Amino acid sequence: MRFTFDLMEPDCNSNSNLDNRQSVTPPSTSTPKEELEWIPLQNHPVFTADGVATQTSSTKMQKNLLAWDGASRLYYWDSSRQCLHRISVRLGEPDSSSVLASCPSKVLQADVQLNFEVDRISINRNGSAIFLVGMEGLCIMYLYGRTSTKENTIICRTVSAGSEIYFNGKNAIRTLQISWHPCSDTHLGILSSDSVFRIFDLSSALAQPEQEYYLQPIEHGSSCDAASICPVDFSFGGDHLWDKFSVFVLFSDGSVYVLCPVVPFGSVYKWESILELYNDANAFGLKSSNSRAVKNSNLAISWLGATFPELSHQDVQGGNAFALRAQPYALFDASVALQGPLRKISHGVEDPQVQPAICEGRAVSFLYNLVSKDSILVTAWSGGQLQIDALADEIQPVWKVGSPARLRVDSNDRIVGLAMISESVTSDHSILKLDLPPDDTLWLGHPPPLLRLAIVDLSLPRKSGYLISMCADPLMSERIYCLHVGGVDSVVLHFLPFTNQNSDKDESVRSPSVHPVLTTCQEESSLPSPLCGFLALSDSFGDSWVVGLTCNFQCIVLDMETWNIMPRRVVNEVGKPTSSEVSKEANKQTIISKELLTGPKVVLLPPSSPTLRSVTSDSIEGRATLHQYFKLFHENYVEYAHKVYFELQHHAPHLKRIIDEQHSRLQKAQQKLVNVEKKQEKLEDRFKCAVQRHSAIEERLQKLRSLPTAHKRSLSKAEQEFKSELDKITGVQLDALRSSIEALNARMKRYTHSPNSNQLNEQRQISARRKSHVVDNQMSQLKASLEKLSLTNSENTKKVKLVESALKTREA
């Protein structure tokens, strides 16, 4: 049973409070009870629709039409009927490998018409709201704030969020990633293509963001390429020290930046975790001998005291509160700095290798995963590699003093929104050496370094442009699921720097293991994963499952064995099994224990006992001897008989189960033989076609070998690196130039179509003329810059075409 506590405080806006109560509190009236039938989830009727997922412009986004509330309800978006199915499930019933679902499902429909194709759904923390997002829209459906019921369909209140910024059709701003905040039920984080990270509060304002952070990773005047300023993905931190207030942003060149602290207004945190941060800032920051550390710790203490006033109102050492709510607050003369890029270290020093030379393509997705004491960062590249790093130090808040934030207040001077420019702060990276004392590197404002754990190659076909999405296992945090064009892979981490400090140092144990979970036959790299949905489920008994939804809307349920995750021991000799395998096979074949098979023990008379003929039965010696023989007989033969009876009675059901299993396997084998006999003719025809195809390919290879270009050498390492740089230019920089040209065109149209107000007197006319003169100057400057950008774009396009033609001739 799941309990949900409403911790929201009353607000002056009654409408927002009403909306919030509707989104959190279930309705008092329930639907009429129906006769429910519990069937396997993969056999549910909602997954038997005959259809194929359409490939539209949204193929650049990974589809996921499944959502899980973490307790007992699974949600599925039906694209054909434009509705949401709510399915109650039972995990591990009737056995641990099955998942049962209730039939029929509850049908939830939006009260407004959705004019876009839904590509992804995600549910909030308490299961009261779910967002529906596509390339052309974003809507929030309140699952319990329904408006009416019609024809066994629950009509739910649905609202649009961020439509004026992202989906108004007048600009080229795209949403790159949308995610619920882990410490709030009403806050959404959105990263867009204009390098702005926004947080929306759905309980107060849907069109206007609560917080805006304009990301500036490059300093003014420094040379850079478009790959280093184009964001790709973001992730909120976990419940670990300052990670809970951090936002990790990934850029297309693979660099990772950190925003800390970022706190939604009204989000809830544990009292113990906030108290730990407060005590650390006072213990290590204020007592430091470095003035810079004292300054940074003072800023952090003042921010904590204003954001969580209970720290100063109550006894710091022993407060009676269990959770604290964040109050709206921002430093008056400082903005949150963009920490990074996070440097890579190896064996205590900075890694001199350049990342694009190791991983192919560009960064496409990012995952933050908290495993015990370790903060794991996983970056997926379009070439099919996973870069796994761990934070070698703790994250600390950093502000840039002298860059004030813009605040939006209400009539009572309370902060309702803020916006700030988050610039990258340069620092001396000499602290990346791990042999320094930890107290010398605290509260100095340096970004935490990254410790390289591994680079995993998923062994995908050698093409660029893969779309890879990742998610962590809810039961075993060391396991990560990767969705790509070839299916789903499971990556298990066997070594963590802080959690497994006393583990074996063998490299075979340290390296992660990759196991395929689902394999598809799709090989086109330009398309996303053929799965339209993926979920990882778990229960309180330690069992876990994965649920997949294929492109033709068929459900797949797989049981994941969480205990069999370590790599198997390699045999020393080929074909010779190890002793453990032999013992396992012997145990499987042994039905009765060896003690019973050897029989009863032989009765051994004591050497001092007299013979039976020398004593009489009525004498004391005879009776003692008879009693001794009876005792030996009882200890050996009667107890042995009891053991035999008990074990035979105990193994009878086991033997029956084995026999039934053998019979079922025999029937399946016979059925397979019948199917093979039926398909034998088809197999023979396919074999003939394959032989003909093989001969045709051999003839074609002979012709190709006779060509003069077949003996040319392949590209060198430097040429391959240059080719990867060209791929980045074609995939990132040209798109950035096009988006900037579109933005300038939109701004020019707004300036040209702006109406001129009528002037009432000569002084207003003179001022209007001056303003129009200024506008004309700005338009001329915009036109000049637009012409320069178009010329630069055309020159870059010509250069790319020339280089591509040269590379094609070299590869040929």
260-285 pLDDT, tens per residue? 999 999 999 999 999 999 988 888 88
Query: Is residue 141 exposed (0-12), middle (13-18) or buried (19+ Cβ within 10 Å)?
Result: buried
Q: What is the pLDDT of residue 386?
A: 94
Mean pLDDT of 756-767: 52
User: How high is the pLDDT of residue 642?
Assistant: 75
Q: How confident is the model at residue 3 (pLDDT cuts 50, 70, 90)?
A: very low
As a whole number of angstroms, the distance between CA 319 and CA 111 comes to 46
Last residue of a domain, one of 325, 342, 357: 325
Q: Report which secondary-structure segment, H or E, holds 560.
A: strand 555-560
Per-residue model confidence (pLDDT) at position 302: 92
Residues 71 and 141 grouped into a single domain: yes
**Same domain as 141, residue 43:** yes
Provide the pLDDT confidence category of residue 575 given band limits of 50, 70 and 90.
very low
Per-residue confidence (pLDDT) for residue 621, from 0 to 100: 73
Closest by alpha carbon to 512, among 528, 523, 496, 529?
496
Asked if 551 and 602 sit in the same domain, the reply is: no
Q: Does 555 share its domain with 603?
A: no
Residue 504 within any structural domain of the chain: no
Q: What is the pLDDT of residue 460?
A: 81
Structure tokens at 450: 């990254």
- The first and second tokens of residue 4, run together, are 């949900």
Q: What are residue 389's DSSP bridge partners? A: 377, 452
- Predicted confidence (pLDDT) at residue 435 exceeds the cutoff of 70: no
| pLDDT score at 471 | 93
Stated pTM of the model: 0.68
Closest C-alpha among 283, 284, 313, 281 to residue 298 = 281
Tally of CB atoms within 10 A around 601:
13
Q: Tens digits of per-residue pLDDT, 72-108?
A: 899 999 988 999 999 999 988 888 788 999 998 999 9
Q: What is the pLDDT of residue 344?
A: 81
Q: Is residue 516 part of a domain?
A: no
CA distance 670 to 2: 48
Q: What per-residue confidence (pLDDT) applies to 502?
A: 58
Mean pLDDT over 525-535 rounds to 71
Report if residue 536 sits inside a domain: yes
- Note whether residue 737 is domain-resident: yes
**Does residue 349 contact residue 363 with C-beta atoms inside 8 Å?**
no
Average pLDDT over residues 685-702: 89
- The mean pLDDT of 49-61, rounded to a whole number, is 50
More confident residue, 612 or 195: 195
Q: Say whether pLDDT at 563 is over 90.
A: no
- The closest alpha carbon to 481, from 521, 535, 544, 419, belongs to 535
**Using one digit for the tens of pLDDT, what is the confidence trace for 734-751?**
667 777 777 777 777 776
Domain boundary among 283, 298, 325: 325
CA distance 496 to 376: 9
Q: Which residue has better confidence, 357 or 475?
A: 475
Given 3-state DSSP classes, what are the helix, strand and coil percentages for the chain, each rounded to the nearest 5?
Answer: 35, 25, 40
* Residue 378 pLDDT: 96
Q: Name which residue leads in pLDDT, 286 or 688.
A: 688
Of the spans 57-71, 210-224, 585-599, 664-678, which averages the highest pLDDT? 664-678
- 734 and 634: one domain? no
Total domains present in the chain: 4
Q: pLDDT digit string (tens) for 356-368?
A: 447 888 899 999 9
Query: What are phi and psi for residue 378, nearest 5 degrees?
Result: -120, 125
| Same domain, yes or no: 631 and 724 | no
Structure tokens at 746: 């939109």
**Cβ atoms 350, 364 nearer than 8 A:** no
Q: Of residues 380 and 620, which shows the higher confidence score?
A: 380
Q: CA-CA distance, 423 to 217, in Å (whole number)?
A: 6
Is the pLDDT assigned to residue 755 strictly greater than 60? no
Domain that holds residue 76: 37-54+61-160+531-562
The reply to whether 626 and 734 lie within a common domain is no
Region 624-632: mean pLDDT is: 76
Nearest to 140 by CA among 116, 124, 119: 124
Long-range pairs of 556-564 with CB within 8 A, sequence gap ≥ 24? 556/42, 556/518, 557/40, 557/41, 557/42, 557/98, 557/99, 558/517, 558/518, 559/96, 559/97, 559/98, 560/473, 560/490, 560/517, 562/475, 562/476
645 and 720 fall within a common domain: no
SS (H, E, C) 356-418: HHCCCCCEEEEEEEEECCEEEEEEEECCCEEEEEEECCCCCCCEEECCCCEEEECCCCCEEEE
**pLDDT computed for residue 529 by the predictor:** 60
Q: How far apart are CA 643 and CA 299, in angstroms?
A: 76
Strand pairing category for 37-40 and 106-110: unpaired
| Six token digits for residue 306 | 């204003």
Which one-letter amino acid corresponds to residue 448? P
Q: Is residue 735 located within the same domain as residue 799?
A: yes
CA distances from 366 to 50, 234, 237, 359 (A): 34, 7, 12, 14
Q: Looking at the structure, tell me whether residues 144 and 90 fall in a common domain.
A: yes
Averaged pLDDT for residues 392-417? 91
Q: Domain for residue 547, yes or no?
A: yes
Give the pairing type, strands 153-160 and 106-110: parallel
The CA distance from 640 to 596, in Å, is: 8
Task: State the pairing for strand pair 247-251/106-110.
Answer: unpaired
Q: Give the count of beta carbons closer than 10 Å to the beta carbon of residue 462.
A: 9
Is 12 within the bounds of a domain? no
**Gap between the Cα atoms of 546 and 298, Å rounded:** 47
Based on the fold, state whether residues 551 and 611 are members of the same structural domain.
Answer: no
In a domain, 767, yes or no: no
Alpha-carbon torsion 605, 607, 608, 609, what sign? positive
- Alpha-carbon distance 196 to 338, whole Å? 12
With respect to residue 378, please indicate whether it lies within any of the assigned structural domains: no
Write down the residue that tokens 């995750």 correspond to.
565
pLDDT given for residue 218 in this prediction = 79
Which structure tokens are listed for 357?
Answer: 């030379």
74 and 151 belong to one structural domain: yes
Question: pLDDT-derived band of residue 620, with 50, 70 and 90 as boundaries?
Answer: confident
Between 499 and 376, residue with greater pLDDT? 376
